[in-house]
Amino acid sequence: MTSISVSSSSAATVKADALVIGVVKGPKGLVLAPGSDDVAKAFGKGLLPALTGLGATGKADEVTRVATLGATKAAVVVAVGLGNQAKAYDAEVLRRAAGSAVRALAGTTSVALALPTGDAASLRAIAEGSLLGAYAFTTYRTTSLADHKAPVAALTVITGLGRDAKPVVRRAEVVAAAVKLARDLVNTPPSDLHPIELAAVAADTAQRVGLTVEVLDEKALKKGAFGGILGVGQGSANPPRLVHLSHKGKGAKTKVALVGKGITFDSGGISIKPAAGMEDMKSDMGGAAAVIATMSAVAELGLAIDVEAWVPMAENMPSGTAIRPSDVLTMRGGTKVEVNNTDAEGRLILGDAIARACEDSPDYVLDAATLTGAQLVALGARTSAVMSNDDGFREQVVSAAGVAGEAMWGMPLPADLRSALDSEVADMVNTGPRDGGMLTAGLFLKEFVADGVKWSHLDIAGPAYNTGAPYGYTHTGGTGAAVRTFVQLLEELAG
Ligand code: BES
Ligand code: MN
Ligand code: ZN
């Protein structure tokens, strides 16, 4: 893991291989951002012309390198764009800029950041962005390992915030470590992360941070009548699991349940997916990864709130033992579901887990799931959807996401779409029509939420997995989507 420390020393003399400063688009051209004064002084007015000459414009996330030739202790200055000049810079702008700079500096051992840290929110964003930018998934590289530059090993954030800085950076470290765990899990090939192995990682993580853990195997699932999890899992040689992690907060007044979709690979089952893009379905446990990772952060931060995580895990495969379209499954709690499409498997395992979570009467239930392709159609690859049975709670989730720097948008659960899930033979079908597919998936889940429980559902199908080029602090592959929002929200609910 990359280390991070804070320093109040001058950027010009701080010990680091490279130094990151901010540049912005002013009304009359390039301007140096606050935090860079000492560096500018060390250059004796030469810095701005040099950066301009190198083509820097201040555009967000643009990275420009200058050799310092002895002007500062660091050999290189890296100017990162923060966009248009402003009185204060948006936290997410800073988070992304720090991430872009640190990502561009892969191969460098130590990096100091002299970006605007006027307040705790800015410092937090810079600490998070730089830590999240310093990431690479290299577990499966041997002969190609040397061709890939290693992430920055040591970060120093220069700030004038004094003793207030330490706890801010410590929180950023915990959150970034959690995001890294979620990314690593998503990036791990499904041949090495079946439900058994995913459950083992959850259990190991729980032990490391001091959470209680219980793993329900196929025998326990049968005993507990978890027909959705068992049904989806029955086509695979790798049996399903349900993991229960528990955090008891000191003086907790609120109880929250987290549920995360853990399909370790989604082939579609008998309703098999087309080959193109099927490899992306290793990411179908992104919700489970986010929940496991969030629980580790909750424990490490010692949040004063009770959090129970229920994480269903299964592999969705076609085989002679797989569920067929038209099979009926009896879910936890007794609801009978006619499976009209085996590729709508996420809601089947989540329905069981949500029902189980509600049996302990939590105040809130939150689930995260790579649930529908319709989410990508509606909101694109970078914005998650939030659906809820309570307007206020939905807005609270969206607002926490804003603070955490994750793009999320509220979506409705229109009651008139519910009839699309009516079945000719059972209580419900699992799949509605193509139109409104994200919303009918949400409406399906809502059926398993107990009365009086506030529930929000996060469809993170696109945001959990970046199939495109890296940007800001986001790398290609697993992103750790929902972790930062969950931690932020749980802190707020803890009060
Ligand atoms: N895991 C997929 C959803 C998904 C799609 C996640 C793309 C990430 C990227 C889910 O299990 C699925 O297959 N959903 C179907 C539902 C349909 C059969 C109603 C879909 O969206 O096509
Ligand atoms: Mn599917
Ligand atoms: Zn799926």
Distance 408 CA to ligand 2 centre (A): 22
Handedness of CA 425, 426, 427, 432 (dihedral sign): negative
Q: Please, which residues have CB less than 5 A from ligand 2, an ion?
A: 266, 343, 345
Which of 371, 430, 431, 435 has the most ligand 1 atoms within 8 A of CB, as the residue to mutate?
371
> Which structural domains are found in the chain, ordered by start?
3-159 (3.40.220.10), 176-494 (3.40.630.10)
Confidence (pLDDT) at 408: 99
Q: Which atom of ligand 1 is nearest to the CA of 271?
A: 18
Q: Of the bound ligands, which one is closest to the alpha carbon of residue 459?
A: 1
Confidence (pLDDT) at 25: 98
Distance 272 CA to ligand 2 centre (A): 9
CA–CA distances in Å: residue 99 to residues 179, 180, 236, 247? 14, 14, 39, 31
CA distance 131 to 340: 44
- 39: enclosing H helix or E strand: helix 37-42
Distance 61 CA to ligand 3 centre (A): 33
Which residues make beta-bridge pairs with 478? 465
- Residue 233's Cβ-side half-sphere holds a number of Cα atoms within 13 Å equal to 26
Confidence (pLDDT) at 389: 99
Distance 372 CA to ligand 1 centre (A): 4
Q: Which atom of ligand 1 is nearest to the CA of 341?
A: 18
Q: Of the bound ligands, which one is closest to the alpha carbon of residue 278?
A: 1
Q: Which atom of ligand 1 is nearest to the CA of 345?
A: 11
Confidence (pLDDT) at 284: 99
Q: Enumerate the active-site residues.
A: 273, 347
Distance 266 CA to ligand 3 centre (A): 5
Q: Which atom of ligand 1 is nearest to the CA of 346?
A: 11
The ligand 1 site (C-beta within 6 Å) comprises 266, 284, 341, 343-346, 370-374, 431, 437, 461
- 219-226's contacts with Cβ under 8 Å and 24+ in sequence apart are 224/332, 224/356, 225/330, 225/332, 226/312, 226/331, 226/332, 226/352, 226/356
Confidence (pLDDT) at 291: 99
Confidence (pLDDT) at 350: 99
CA distance 427 to 399: 35
CA distance 166 to 5: 8
One-character DSSP codes across 388-418: ES-HHHHHHHHHHHHHHT--EEE----GGGG
Which of 263, 343, 443 has the most ligand 1 atoms within 8 A of CB, as the residue to mutate?
343
Average pLDDT along the chain, 495 residues, taken 10 residues at a time: 96 97 97 97 96 98 97 98 97 98 98 97 98 98 97 98 96 98 99 99 98 98 99 99 99 98 99 98 99 99 99 99 99 98 99 99 99 98 99 99 99 98 98 98 99 99 98 99 99 97
Atom 8 in ligand 1: residue holding the nearest Cα: 461
Chain length of the chain: 495
Distance 92 CA to ligand 2 centre (A): 32
| Among the listed residues 122, 131, 132, 57, the one whose alpha carbon sits nearest the alpha carbon of residue 92 | 122
E strand residue ranges, 331-486: 336-338, 364-369, 384-388, 408-410, 428-429, 454-459, 465-466, 477-478
Q: Which atom of ligand 1 is nearest to the CA of 432?
A: 19
Q: Of the bound ligands, which one is closest to the alpha carbon of residue 371?
A: 1
